[in-house]
Amino acid sequence: MQFNNEVEAVDALHQSFKNIKAEIGKVVIGQDEIIKSVLIAIFSNGHCLLVGVPGLAKTLLVQTVSNVLDLDFNRIQFTPDLMPSDIIGAEILGEDRHFKFIKGPIFSNIILADEINRTPPKTQAALLEAMQEKAVTAAGHTHILPQPFFVLATQNPIEQEGTYPLPEAQLDRFMFNIQLNYPAFADELTIVKNTTSNREVKLEKIIGAKEIQYFQKLIRNIPVTDNVLEYAVKLAAKTRPNTALASETINNYVSWGAGPRASQFLVLGAKCHAAISGKYAPDIEDVQAVAEPILRHRIVRNYRAEAEGLSIEQIIKDLF
Interval 169-205: pLDDT, tens: 788 889 999 988 888 898 889 888 888 888 777 888 8
| For residues 216-239, average pLDDT | 94
Q: What's the pLDDT tens digit per position in 120-141?
A: 888 888 887 788 888 888 777 8
**DSSP annotation string for 129-176:** HHHHHSEEEETTEEEEPPSS-EEEEEE-SS--TT--PPPHHHHTT-SE
Q: Enumerate residues 6+ apart whose C-beta is below 8 A from 299.
A: 239, 254, 256, 257, 258, 312, 315, 316
Q: Select from 149, 100, 101, 102 the least CA-distant residue to 129.
A: 149
Cα separation, 174 vs 262, in Å, equals 10
Dist CA 284 CA 276 (whole Å): 16
Percent of the chain with pLDDT over 70: 97
Q: Which of 59-68, 137-146, 154-163 has the lowest mean pLDDT?
A: 154-163
Is the pLDDT assigned to residue 104 strictly greater than 90? no
The answer to whether 298 and 258 have CB atoms below 8 angstroms apart is yes
Per domain, the residue ranges of the chain are 6-209, 222-319
Q: What angle do CA 71, 275, 57 make, to 5 degrees?
A: 45
Residue 312 has pLDDT above 80, yes or no: yes
**Please, which pLDDT band fits residue 212 given cuts at 50, 70 and 90?**
very high
CATH code that applies to domain 6-209: 3.40.50.300
Using CA atoms, how far apart are residues 17 and 36, in angstroms rounded to an integer? 9
Counting residues of the chain whose pLDDT is more than 90, the rounded percentage is: 34
Higher pLDDT, 160 or 37: 37
pLDDT digits (tens, 9 = 90+) for 3-44: 667 788 888 899 999 999 989 988 888 888 899 999 999 999
Looking at the structure, give the CATH architecture of the domain made up of residues 222-319.
Orthogonal Bundle (1.10)
What is the band of 162 on the pLDDT scale with cuts at 50, 70, 90?
Answer: low
> What pLDDT was estimated at residue 239?
93
- pLDDT band for position 160 (50/70/90)? low
161 confidence band (pLDDT: 50, 70, 90): low
Contacts (Cβ under 8 Å, ≥6 apart) of 293 = 37, 176, 177, 178, 179
pLDDT band at 232 (very low <50, low <70, confident <90, very high): very high
pLDDT for 4 equals 65
Given a cut of 80, whether residue 245 has pLDDT beyond it is yes
Global pTM reads 0.90
Query: Residue 188, Cβ neighbours under 10 Å: how many?
Result: 13
299 contacts 251 by C-beta, under 8 angstroms:
no
- Residue 275: pLDDT band (50, 70, 90) is very high
pLDDT band for 159, please (50, 70, 90 cuts): low
**Rounded CA gap, 165 and 121, in Å?**
8
Q: Select the more confidently predicted residue: 102 or 158.
A: 102
Mean pLDDT, the chain, rounded, equals 87
